[in-house]
Copies of this chain bind each other. A is one copy, B any other.
C-alpha cells in the first residue's frame, strides 16, 4: 500500500519537491526559483563546531519546539493549585507521550514526596493489614504495559457546543505511557483476602498522600484484574506531577481513579461514595438524575493534524491526515475518516495493530484538492462499538453532562489550510 501511495503521490509531488536540474526550489511559491543558498553555500553549522552536550544533565527540547508544551485553560478551574494541563497532541505523532508534556490534573497541588517518606497501607477486610515502603514494592514481580490515561472530563467543555479551538484543549486530557509496576492483585494477596469472604461484592477505597487525597472506590473484580501499582513511566521514575514515587494505573478507566502519590488502599464491603464519585465524576442526565460508576472510557478518536493548532501549510496535493484512537474496552480495530462531515467515510491506515487499552495512531494518506473539508474521525473497538456523533450522545445524555463526552469531533478546514472547531448537524 505504501508503494501505491508513492506511485500515486509522485506525480503530484514533483510540483513541490525541487528538481535539482531545473534549479527550482522546494516548497514552491514561498521561495523564488533561484538557486537555494542552503544547497549552494556552505552553512555555518557545517563549517564549525556545534555545542557540547555534557553540560546538560537532563536533556530538554530544542528552543524551536518551545510551543510544544502543556497548556491550561484559565477559566476551567478556580485556582492553579487545582488545575489541568493539556497534552499538545496537535504537535505529537506516534503513540508514546513524553512525560514532559503529558497531561496532568491535580486537586491540591503537586506534592513532593521522597521515596523514604513513601508508605502504602493496605487495610480493611484483609487477613494481615500491611504497610509497604518503596523498597518493599521493588521486591515484588513487576510488569510492563502501555496504557492510555484519559480524564473523564476530556472534551467535557464541548457538550453545549464547539468551545475550544484546538485539539490540545478539546482532547488533550490524555496521555499514553509504558508503565512498570506491581499488579495490585499481588499486594492484595500479600495482605490476604480470605477475611473479605465473597469477593464479588467487595470494593477497595484508594487514597493519595496529597491534601485532596482524591479518594476513589474501585470494585474488587477490577482491582484483581489489570490494575498496577506503578513506579515508572516510559522507563524512568514518575514525574512529581504524575504522582512520584507511586501511582495507581487503572487501565481503560477514567483518569481520576489513577490515584497519585498513593498512600492507602482499604478493602471494604461497599463503596465510600466520596466527593470524587458523587458531586464530581458522575454524569447528570437531562432529567437531573446522575449516572454513577461510569468508569470505562468508551471508544474515541480525534484528528490531530490538520487541526486548529496544526493547519495545512502547503497547497493542494499530497496531505497526511493523522490522529489517534483509543478504547477503555480493549483494542481499536478500525478508524474511519470523513472529509465531508460524516456523509462518506474512508478507512484510515493504523500505524500498528491496536493494543489493549492503549493509543492507536492512524493515518489517511490523501491528495487534497484544496477545497474546504469537514474533517472527522470515527473509532471502532474490538467489541464492535462505534464512536457516536454528538447528536447521538445528546439524545441519550442531554446537555447537563460534563464527563464522558466521546463524540465524533469536526474540524472545518478552509482552502487556506486553516482549521476551526465546528459542529455539524
Q: Is A278 an interface residue (CB 8 A)?
A: no
CB–CB B237/A65 < 8 A: yes
Contacts of A52 in B (CB 8 A): 80-81, 83, 109-110
Q: Is A75 an interface residue (CB 8 A)?
A: no
A318 CA to B190 CA, complexed, in Å: 13
Give A119 Cβ to nearest chain B Cβ, in Å. 5
CB–CB B61/A61 < 8 A: no
Q: Is A372 an interface residue (CB 8 A)?
A: no
CB–CB A70/B59 < 8 A: yes
Contacts of A261 in B (CB 8 A): 45
CB–CB B62/A237 < 8 A: yes
Given known contacts A96-B235, A129-B19, A178-B96, is B139 in contact with A320 (CB within 8 Å)? yes
Identify A95's interface contact among B16, B129, B178, B319, CB under 8 A.
Answer: B178
Q: Is A69 an interface residue (CB 8 A)?
A: yes
CB–CB A318/B140 < 8 A: yes
CB–CB A143/B351 < 8 A: yes
Contacts of A144 in B (CB 8 A): 93-95, 351-352, 361
New A-B contacts (20) at CB < 8 Å, excluding given A9-B140, A68-B237, A93-B235: A2-B186, A13-B140, A21-B129, A26-B131, A26-B133, A39-B119, A50-B110, A50-B211, A52-B83, A52-B109, A57-B70, A58-B68, A58-B101, A59-B241, A62-B112, A93-B232, A95-B235, A97-B235, A139-B314, A139-B318
Chain A's interface size range is: 35 or more
Given known contacts A64-B114, A135-B314, is B130 in contact with A18 (CB within 8 Å)? yes
Q: Is A6 an interface residue (CB 8 A)?
A: yes
Identify A39's interface contact among B100, B121, B351, CB under 8 A.
Answer: B121
* Subset of 14 A-B contacts with CB under 8 Å: A2-B183, A10-B189, A17-B132, A17-B190, A43-B209, A51-B110, A53-B106, A54-B83, A59-B102, A62-B237, A95-B178, A98-B98, A142-B322, A234-B234
